[in-house]
Amino acid sequence: MDSELSSFTVDKKWYSWVRDFRRFPTLLSSTTTSDVLAVIAVASLPWSTTVTSIFSALWVLSVFPRIRLEELAYLVGRSRAGFAVALFAIAVIGTLWATDVSWTARLRGVNPTLKFLMMPFLIYYFRESSRSFWILLAFLGSCTVLLALSWVTAFVPNLTPTASLQPGVPVKNYIDQSQSFALCAVVLAWPISELIKDGRTHLALPLLALSIVFLANLTFVVLARTALIYVPIMLFVFGAFYLPRSLFYGAIAFSLLLAGSAWFASPNLQNRTNSILLEYSKYGAGNDITSAGLRLEYWRKSVGFVREAPVVGHGTGSTQMLFDRAALGQTGLGAETISNPHNQSLSVAVQWGLIGCVALYSMWIGHLSLFRGAGFYPWLGFIVVVQNVVSSLFNSHLFDFVPGWIYVIGVSLAAGRIIQQNDESAGRSLSRRTEDQNGMRAFYSENAGHGIVPS
């Protein structure tokens, strides 16, 4: 009797496990599950490469069961995501002519483009989801926590978690941190201006204060030198598109005055700007190894690599091999090698030539054209693309983890919401036209026999 009862208990537990396992795909594919996975993936982006990778993959997988292929194909065309997918496809096909490179290196070269394949599915998700704002708040909240820790570790360096990290950079690196902080500061400009226009100053002031604290951190704590270029351009774009002309010109004058004052008040800003000129002069005068000098040397060599194979490039994952080969017998700067030439266009051109550059520029231009118009989501998408294009002059930011994912998620979110809003507007217009047509038919049918309208 006891053995039968024990067997029954085991069978019941086994049935429960099987039932729960069969429900797992349904649970994973639910909208709420996708939203939670999205929030975790985005919130972890400034902090952890591993967590973001795992949850972004689960996020995309959770969208698969709800996808209708005809709608997905329709969205790929409308969102210009086809160019991003093309860049991934070129990277995969490019492994075939990288004959001097190991397959390990070729697959490593494909890896940074894998995120582009996810864009159509993320756009599909954001078009269907009613909780896209959660993702924005998750990223802003996560960056705000990182901002607080950055200030704390700047004033108390002993609290920096890892000895190799500099004060003010609690996790990852100062380039990723600057990219995230600058984006938060500038994106907030749109809701701040709209709230002020609507007379809701009490809501605008906290956002304005947060934006200023982000910018102050860049000015006084730690700053990627690339931010010296893209932050002014991003602010200029906002003023040119969203401020009245009289206010825009005044804002430019005030910004120049403020920037000058900040430079005199911030040793951090002075050091970052002066180091560029100093390192460049050393590159021209001698063979000293400096950050700016290395970048210029990488660019010079990369241009030579592109000339060797201008149409299709040297193949996926070939960059390291080319630099290693060029460094043979060299000393100083000439002996330095790298797998990343620190310029997005050159990184693409070295591996895939003109074909890759056409796909890259088509993606950027297509996304910029998609985000023309008024509203928060066009502003978000446009400024994400602008930041990426400008920063990619000095880094391969589409292929770097944090900036690349910022681009993929930011563009997908903005594109999905814009398409959803356009579809709603088109649906309302179609509904109104249908109602008008039905009303006219009813009017004609009722009055045709009374001589009011011809029968």
Average model confidence (pLDDT) for the chain? 83
Say which range, 4-8, 379-383, 385-389, 406-410, has the weakest mean pLDDT. 4-8
As a whole number, mean pLDDT of residues 265-289 equals: 69
Per-residue pLDDT at 1 exceeds 80: no
- Is there a domain that residue 167 lies in? yes
- Identify the pLDDT of residue 347: 95
More confident residue, 437 or 407: 407
Please report, rounded to a whole number, the percentage of residues in the chain having pLDDT higher than 70: 83
> Which DSSP letter does residue 166 get?
P
- Is there a domain that residue 5 lies in? no
Claim to verify: residue 116 and residue 143 sit in the same structural domain: no
Claim to verify: residue 310 and residue 438 sit in the same structural domain: yes
Q: Which two tokens stand for residue 242?
A: 């969203």
As a whole number, mean pLDDT of residues 437-450 equals: 53
CA 93 to each of CA 74, 107, 316: distance values in angstroms, whole numbers, following the listed order:
25, 11, 8
Stated as kind and residue range, the H or E segment containing 47 is none
Last residue of a domain, one of 215, 238, 270: 270
More confident residue, 83 or 241: 83
pLDDT digits (tens, 9 = 90+) for 352-402: 999 999 999 999 999 999 998 888 999 999 999 999 999 999 999 999 999
Could you tell me which residues come within 8 angstroms of residue 218 by beta carbon, excluding any fewer than 6 positions away?
Answer: 178, 181, 182, 185, 227, 231
**Which residue, chain included where needed, has tokens 């998609």?**
370
Claim to verify: residue 315 and residue 424 sit in the same structural domain: yes
- Identify the pLDDT of residue 286: 59
- Is there a domain that residue 155 lies in? yes
Claim to verify: residue 202 and residue 148 sit in the same structural domain: yes
Q: What Rg value do the Cα atoms of the chain yield, rounded? A: 27
Name the range with the highest mean pLDDT among 212-221, 271-280, 406-415.
406-415
pTM value is: 0.84
Per-residue pLDDT at 29 exceeds 60: no
Q: What does the alpha-carbon distance between residue 162 and residue 157 come to, in Å, rounded to a whole number? A: 10
Neighbouring CB atoms inside 10 A of 43's CB total 23
For 417-435, give the DSSP string.
HHHHHHHHHHHHHHHHHHH
Claim to verify: residue 309 and residue 397 sit in the same structural domain: yes
Per-residue pLDDT at 424 exceeds 70: yes
pLDDT digits (tens, 9 = 90+) for 122-168: 999 999 888 888 999 999 999 999 999 999 998 888 877 765 578 88
**Which residue, chain included where needed, has tokens 């982006």?**
45
Whether residue 351 contacts residue 339, with contact meaning beta carbons closer than 8 Å, is answered with no
Q: How many domains does the chain have?
A: 2
- Is there a domain that residue 56 lies in? no
- Identify the pLDDT of residue 392: 94
pLDDT confidence band for 83 (50 / 70 / 90): very high
Claim to verify: residue 234 and residue 330 sit in the same structural domain: no
Claim to verify: residue 93 and residue 144 sit in the same structural domain: no
Per-residue pLDDT at 237 exceeds 70: yes
- Is there a domain that residue 21 lies in? no
Claim to verify: residue 156 and residue 262 sit in the same structural domain: yes
- Is there a domain that residue 175 lies in? yes
- Identify the pLDDT of residue 436: 47
Claim to verify: residue 170 and residue 206 sit in the same structural domain: yes
Q: Apex CA 443: angle with CA 439 and CA 444, to 5°?
A: 120
Say which range, 22-26, 75-79, 202-206, 306-310, has the weakest mean pLDDT. 22-26
Per-residue pLDDT at 308 exceeds 80: yes
Listed residue (231, 210, 208, 207) closest to 219, CA to CA:
231
Claim to verify: residue 319 and residue 262 sit in the same structural domain: no
Last residue of a domain, one of 270, 302, 327: 270
- Identify the pLDDT of residue 41: 95
What is the phi-psi region of residue 266: left when phi exceeds 0, alpha when psi lies from -120 to 50, beta otherwise? beta
Q: Which two tokens stand for residue 317?
A: 């994952």
Q: What sign for the dihedral angle of Cα 264, 267, 269, 271?
A: positive
pLDDT confidence band for 341 (50 / 70 / 90): very high
Claim to verify: residue 243 and residue 307 sit in the same structural domain: no
- Is there a domain that residue 24 lies in? no
- Identify the pLDDT of residue 133: 87
- Is there a domain that residue 44 lies in? no
Per-residue pLDDT at 313 exceeds 80: yes
Whether residue 343 contacts residue 393, with contact meaning beta carbons closer than 8 Å, is answered with yes
Its domain, for residue 321, covers 67-130+287-383+393-443
pLDDT confidence band for 260 (50 / 70 / 90): confident
Per-residue pLDDT at 233 exceeds 60: yes
Last residue of a domain, one of 212, 237, 270: 270
Whether residue 344 contacts residue 387, with contact meaning beta carbons closer than 8 Å, is answered with no
Claim to verify: residue 124 and residue 142 sit in the same structural domain: no
